[in-house]
Amino acid sequence: MIKYLIGALIGGVVGYFVFYKLIGCSNGSCPITANPYLSTIYGIVLGVLLAGVIASPARTANSEDTTQIPAIEYKKITPEEAKARLDSGDEIIILDVRTEEEYTSGHITNAVLMSNETITDKMPDLLPDLEAEILIYCRSGNRSAQAAKKLLSIGYTNVYDFGGIIDWPYDIVT
């Protein structure tokens, strides 16, 4: 909007001084007009049109912003893939995001309990390393997906969701 106002202002000045005074419309010899008001209006119209053509186009919602960093997404893996990672001997954190009652009724060996509701936008004390490999599960897979997204938004980089313990075909601790 401001570019059109500026264009109109500049165009009005150009219309009066160039069309009317310099070119000689004031003596009636110019095809535009000998009237200073109409010369100014022609200048305003031309100024607005030029402002629309010259000014850079505004960014639209469909514009592609190439400077944005792509969002990191958590990785969904199967219980079999999770078991293979646990058996690999690598240093892995297995995170149970259910309630304490659910955890005590049965959990995967060496799982760390951190209820999904306790994960906020701050780094949890139980997970001090942002680059640690974290395998997350809950009861059915809903809370583990939520927790994985929360951890990624905090800055964790190796987050894997393997769903719910109801799909875990291996031994659990009761």
pLDDT digits (tens, 9 = 90+) for 137-166: 999 999 999 999 999 999 999 999 999 999
Closest CA to 135 of 147, 124, 125: 147
pLDDT-derived band at 1 (thresholds 50, 70, 90) equals low
pTM score of the predicted model: 0.60
Which residue numbers are catalytic? 138
Please tell me the distance from the alpha carbon of residue 63 to that of residue 58, in angstroms, as a whole number: 10
Mean pLDDT of 83-90: 95
How large is the C-alpha radius of gyration of the chain? 34
Over residues 69-85, mean pLDDT: 84
Q: How far, CA to CA in Å, does 83 sit from each of 24, 103, 107, 157?
A: 90, 18, 14, 20
